[in-house]
Structure 1
């Protein structure tokens, strides 16, 4: 068969990459992404009725778990890319097999995390909260108690991440949403009952929140695990469940790149918060409020990026380069239109929306500066998130790692610390964030235009 004929055959066998398919995958991903933050809001509301110390303890404990889980998103993103390539190549067994190996990795990493967190929890909490007074000591003790219980849910949280990864890779959109909703719904009922002793539940206070968290997350993880077994056992039997170290090593290579990329984000945003705090309480409150809005809006853009990962991986696995290019164009248009619409809403609501979150006059006065940087940055983020998804789907994680590190070291971090040195305030910090996003945009656009990401086959060569 000639090369043009092979390409035509690949395009004909390529998966559906139309706007409707992008929308279906994006909505499914968005539901999974937004469920945990919504559960956390309920958790904070329920625990908040116990008192300020308990609320602070929950906030600190949840922060620690959030930081850990953020570093381990490679279990979903990396698995999606590898599974999607095999799925596109017509190897569904191999695509699900990536999920098996990612699940082994999740259980191993999860066990290590539990073994580390449990004994170190008191030290970590004292480090974060401090021990300068009786209130701080009480909050640290309560947070330690919460974290020591909640950490036992980490292995199955990671199993859920791996499950989301391979199921996105094979473009299964309904079950992940159902599994997450079932687990968190049961967790929500237990949360209300165990914290306050309602119905027939014992009153456990803050510890009830941790127990509910573990049970809800574990149910979700077990549902993913059961689905994996049902996929694997009929065709491959128990042999298909064995660890395959070559596959796990390949997954760890991508994990290394994604963890380095994620750590660069964490360092930048922690540095920004630390410098904002030097400008006063109102400044740091305005900064964090706007940043929380940014992070929430990024979930919508991330859902489009996840759709891009699944579709690009499948297209390249099928050898359909043109289909992958079409995905890149379409997801960029969808993401930029969505981001621009968000920017329009926040621009028109600049005088009203901040008042929904605070009535403090000093914070409202300070928030005007980061607000308009946030608005201006959203369309840029539309491009960045979409093309990040395309490159992750192609397996180009090493390039994204390097590009993100360069953007952080050249753009964001210098401007953060110069803002402190020259008293530029929030304007300097948010200028750094915008420069960070612009550099990332330029690097991903250049990479897409270069075509170097278009490597076909079930494995990225």
Structure 2
């Protein structure tokens, strides 16, 4: 207990955490804001199928985007460790590796998704009108996938170098352009669901162009050189690809849970799937705020591991964890007191509102249950421990699937029970793994000598 109190009382760490977390909280909040705007605009279109099409289409689009989220998470850990080791050449090389991977995977994923769209939407057994509008949305939306993945890689590199204000500006450009185009294309030009898709595409490409420009500026001020010779060899790519493989499997499993929520909700009716989307927007609002502290953990813990500083690692985790827990309590209170207002802002459809009101207690409880998984994700990402993240997620998904099978997902209460259990098991399993590594003194290795961090 004394050690924890000493870590919490270290004021410089509080300043570091807030200096990193504040820009990330502000930038992360713009992400669910865009989803809120998309759903609000669609929710005021004439038909329930419009909102349902955007909801389902967004869920399908997130399959490749979130599945390839390792382009941000893996990049942050390796970048932070290289920075802690004082290796500018490694920082430059990681940047190039991440951008090359993002560009290649973006093109391949977009091309591969197109023929799979009819099958994916067919699994939801949705109405023909909703399916047709969702297809129109997705055919346009996939044009922005390469840019979305470039933004992931750029954001990960900026976070790892502790330039969170640059990450904030990157996401602000992306999301504000999206919102402006949304209002222009849908409310101004009357393009409906296709206008919502084109607004997202425009925002993603504007953000990518801006991010590449800022990255080139930052890299130009670094010392060292890009190791082009090493980039041609498998040995230099293997650490990044191995960690990213495990993070990819972990993220794929996570996305399967969110996708199944949409899929099973769609089978319960258009109003149910739309209501669940509005509720999950609330979770995303809380999660992206909590992720600001998790991003601080990624950067600070990765830096501490690269520098071989166990005390700095402990301080970063304790201080970030304390503030994350307080924030989760604030969100729980907000959804308890103002949950109906939160739903009403997003849609004026009576049937969707009524379904959403019924399940507000689940939303109010989720921040307190989920805060641990978000915080500990940051620790494991900063340490580039993809294997443990993968194993924890697979266990959580297996328990989720078991609950779905036992309840037969016969109603929306069963869906939310399974989802809540999934979040709780994520946090519990990561806590157990983290304590085991701590007992083995495996978090911090001896400090790396500057200029020798070629594995990064």
TM-score, reference length from structure 1: 0.80
* d(CA) in 2 for partners of 1:431, 1:194: 37
- Provide the rounded CA distance (Å) in 2 between the counterparts of 1:324 and 1:106: 30
Q: Is 1:146 paired with 2:137?
A: yes
Name the residue aligned to 1:453: 443
SS in 1 for 2:326: helix
Alpha-carbon shift at residue 84 of structure 1 (Å): 0.3
Q: How does 1:48-59 map to 2 (within 5 A)?
A: 48=43, 50-52=45-47, 53-59=49-55
**2:318 pairs with 1:329:** yes
CA distance in 1 between counterparts of 2:356 and 2:85 reads 54
Q: CA deviation at 1:87?
A: 0.5
Asked if the contact 1:76/1:163 (under 8 Å) is kept, the reply is yes
Deviation at 1:443, TM superposition (A): 2.0
Matched, 1:18 2:18: no
* Contact 2:370–2:423 under 8 Å retained in 1: no
Contact 1:261 1:400 in 2 (8 A): yes
Task: Give the count of matched residue pairs.
Answer: 433
Kept after mapping to 2: 8 A contact 1:101/1:247: no
Q: In 2, are the aligned partners of 1:413 and 1:432 still within 8 Å (CA)?
A: no
Matches within 5 A, 1:266-281: 266-271=255-260
State the match for 2:97 in structure 1.
101
Structure 1, 342-351 or 68-77: larger mean CA deviation: 342-351
Answer yes or no: is the 8 Å Cα contact 1:380–1:437 preserved in 2: no
1:167 alignment partner in structure 2:
158
Relative contact order (C-alpha < 8 Å, sep 6+): which is higher? 2
After superposition, the Cα gap between the structure-2 partners of 1:287 and 1:204, relative to the gap in structure 1 and judged at 3 Å, is closer
Cα separation, partners in 2 of 1:74 and 1:211, compared to 1, 3 Å: same
1:237-280 Cα shifts (integer Å, max 9, x gaps): 88769955544332221111112112222333445566677888
Other-structure match for 1:223? 210
Question: In terms of Rg, which structure is larger?
Answer: 1
Q: Is the 8 A contact 1:34 1:299 kept in 2?
A: yes
Residue in 1 aligned with 2:405? 417
Match of 2:29 in 1: 34
Aligned to 1:18, what secondary structure does the other structure show? Answer: helix
**8 A contact 1:100–1:228 mirrored in 2:** no
Change (3 A) 1:154 1:197: same
Question: Which shows bigger deviation, 260-269 or 99-108?
Answer: 260-269
TM-score (norm: length of structure 2): 0.81
- Spell out the pairing of 1:374-453 with structure 2 (5 A cutoff): 374-375=364-365, 378-409=367-398, 411-420=399-408, 425-426=413-414, 428-429=417-418, 432-433=421-422, 435-437=424-426, 439-440=428-429, 442-447=431-436, 449-450=438-439, 451-453=441-443
Match of 1:367 among 323, 341, 359: 359
Deviations 1:154-189 (A, max 9, x none): 111111111111111111122222222223333333
CA contact (8 A) 2:89 2:227 kept: no
What value does the CA root-mean-square deviation take over the aligned residues?
3.7
CA displacement at 1:28 relative to structure 2:
1.7
Structure 1 pair 266–159 and aligned structure 2 pair: CA distance change class (3 A): closer
1:435–1:322: structure 2 CA closer, same or farther, 3 Å change rule?
A: closer
CA contact 2:21–2:296 (8 Å) conserved in 1: yes
1:101 Cα offset (Å): 0.7
Instruction: Summarize the Cα distance change of 1:441–1:350 in structure 2 as closer, same or farther, 3 Å threshold.
Output: farther
Deviation digits for residues 209-248 of structure 1, max 9, x if unmatched?
3333222211111122122333445767887699555443
Does the 8 Å contact 1:388/1:444 carry over to 2? no
CA-CA distance at 1:437 after TM superposition: 4.1
Q: Output the CA distance in 1 between the equivalents of 2:411 and 2:200.
A: 42
**Alignment gaps of 5+ in structure 1:** 1-15
Q: Which runs of 5+ in 2 are unaligned?
A: 1-10
> 2 CA distance for matches of 1:304 and 1:420?
37
The worse-fitting range, judged by mean Cα deviation, of 67-76 and 281-290 is: 281-290
CA contact (8 A) 2:90 2:226 kept: no
